[in-house]
Amino acid sequence: MQALQDRDKGVRADAASVLGMIGEGAKDAVPVLIQALQDEDVRSNAKFALGMIGKDAVPDLIQALQDEDEVFRSYAALALGSIGSGAKDAVPALMQALQDQNENVRDSAAWALGSIGSGSVDAVPALIQLLQDQNWDVRNSAAMALGQIGKDAVPALIQALQNDYNVSVRSRTAMALGDIRSEDAVPVLVQALQDENLGVCRSSERALRKIGTSEALKAVEEYQSRQ
């Protein structure tokens, strides 16, 4: 753990990576790794390490979400997402982080909730609201998260696919509807095959394949014949 304080940034980064490879056995290093999230040369490795250590890191990361440093808060959320389902105790704190004034924190919190998966189902209403965020990265992450946990979000995702001006958000929303395998979304996804952006068309095609109804597959076949 002393190596995380080394003057050489490479040594610090390698030390964090090694602790990550140790995994749960490195739980005593959690406080030092969380502090390393403030080190721009080490924070990505520290995030990885905390994710590998798992649920033993969750309480300290929840506390880190309250820090004054917005970058620190953002990486704390990312670390919780890296832990995945083991971080379900952090869902209330991450839901609060969806209201953060900083867009990067909101983005990271949304991604984390999606990565936690079914344990984040209580966050669905807040994530639906986030589909209206002014920042497209945040909307993108909200759509991704809803694709993992949000069957009740289908109407809001359909609206985003139809109306969002950002092609990345429309593409991600189509993918989310495919992840949910929403048959109700098939007509809108078929319409999205005619989107002006090729990426949205391709995402809609993949979504229809995932849904797999006869109507969806027929639309895919017709789309391919036009290419």
pTM exceeds cut of 0.75 = yes
CATH number at residue 168: 1.25.10.10
Structure tokens that stand for 44 in this block: 């990505």
Distance CA 131, CA 161 (A): 11
- Which contiguous run of DSSP H or E holds residue 71? helix 70-83
Residue 184 lies in a domain: yes
What is the CB neighbour count within 10 angstroms for residue 7? 6
User: Which region, left, alpha or beta, applies to residue 141 given φ > 0 means left and ψ of -120 to 50 means alpha?
Assistant: alpha
Distance CA 22, CA 81 (A): 19
Residue 186 lies in a domain: yes
Q: Count up the domains in the chain and report the number.
A: 1
Distance CA 61, CA 64 (A): 5
pLDDT of residue 1: 59
pLDDT of residue 8: 79
Helix (H, G, I), strand (E, B) or coil at 227: coil
Residue 188 lies in a domain: yes
Going by C-alpha positions, the residue among 161, 159, 113, 105 that lies closest to residue 137 is 105
Range of the domain at 160: 150-227
Report the amino acid identity of residue 22.
Answer: I
Written as tens digits, the pLDDT of the chain (227 aa) is 577 776 778 888 888 888 888 888 888 889 888 888 888 888 888 888 898 988 999 999 999 999 999 999 999 999 999 999 999 999 999 999 999 999 999 999 999 999 999 899 999 999 999 999 999 999 999 999 999 998 889 999 999 999 999 999 999 999 999 999 999 999 999 999 999 999 999 999 999 999 999 999 999 999 999 87
Residue 181 lies in a domain: yes
Tell me 5's DSSP state: G
